[in-house]
Every structure is written in structure tokens, then in C-alpha cells.
Amino acid sequence: MTATKENKYMEAVGRRKTAIARVRITPAAKTTFTINDSEFETYFPTAELRRTITSVFADTTQNFNVTAKMIGGGIAGQAEALRHGIARALLIHEPEIRTKLKVKGFLKRDPRAKERRKFGLKKARKSPQWSKR
């Protein structure tokens, strides 16, 4: 997490499952998003994913220009990684909103990930059908 005074941007990293988001937020007149050099609506096509990300800004009165580089994971994991990164960057800008973000769970990295498959099993925990004879 870094912040520079000459550029006035806040930078943070957000993670979820195998998705990683490098996020930079800059104070602006209107909230805009640029993800991997593409528009917000094209990168996250569903309203639910967009709502997941923009819910972080409910506690702030200021608007920000959000630029993010996303790698890994699926689209839902990337949306939650972006939300995590934005929350961490907002914390650098406005430390007083920490309790509001913490209560909503935006500052915690969601540790759930897919469990690996074990040999002798069909999936991570599913075993082959047992037959008596």
C-alpha cells in the first residue's frame, strides 16, 4: 500500500481466491473505473458484479477515479478482489472510515479457495461408490 503526494493517488492490492487486483484511486469530480484498459460496464457485464464493487463507496462522500490491473481467477473472484483493493486504498485516504469498512467485511481477505483433489477420490471429498460385493 503506497501513497504519493506529488501524484496524489493511493495504491493497494486486493485478493480473492486466485484473483489479484492492483488498484489505484485518485480523487476526481466523478467516479470512473478503468479495468485492464477497458470500461467498467464491458469488463463486469452484470449489475450484481458492479454493485459488489461500488458498495465500497457508500461510506465516502468523495468521488474517485479507479484504475485497476486484474490477473487470475474468474469474474466473480476478480470483482471481490477489486472491492478488497479499493477498500484498502480508501483506508489510506480516509483512515476514519476503517470501522465502517471493517463491519461490512471489506478489509478482510476472503480466504476461501477451491480445495485440491486427492488421489483415490473423484473430487476433493467425493469418494467412488462403495459396493459390498
pLDDT in tens, 60-118: 889 999 999 999 999 999 999 999 999 999 999 999 999 999 999 999 999 999 999 99
3-state secondary structure of 44: coil
pLDDT tens profile 19-37: 999 999 999 999 999 999 9
Q: All domains of the chain, ordered by start, with CATH?
A: 2-104 (3.30.230.10)
Can you read off the three cell numbers belonging to residue 104? 461490512
pLDDT the model gives residue 59: 84
The per-residue pLDDT for 8 is 87
Per-residue confidence (pLDDT) for residue 119, from 0 to 100:
96
58: phi then psi, degrees, rounded to nearest 5: -65, -30
Q: How far apart are CA 54 and CA 104, in angstroms?
A: 13
SS3 78: helix
- pLDDT at 2 exceeding the cut of 70: no
pLDDT at 133: 86
- pTM value is 0.87
Q: Are 69 and 22 a contacting pair, CB within 8 Å? A: yes
Which of 29, 21, 30, 24 minimizes the C-alpha distance to 52? 21
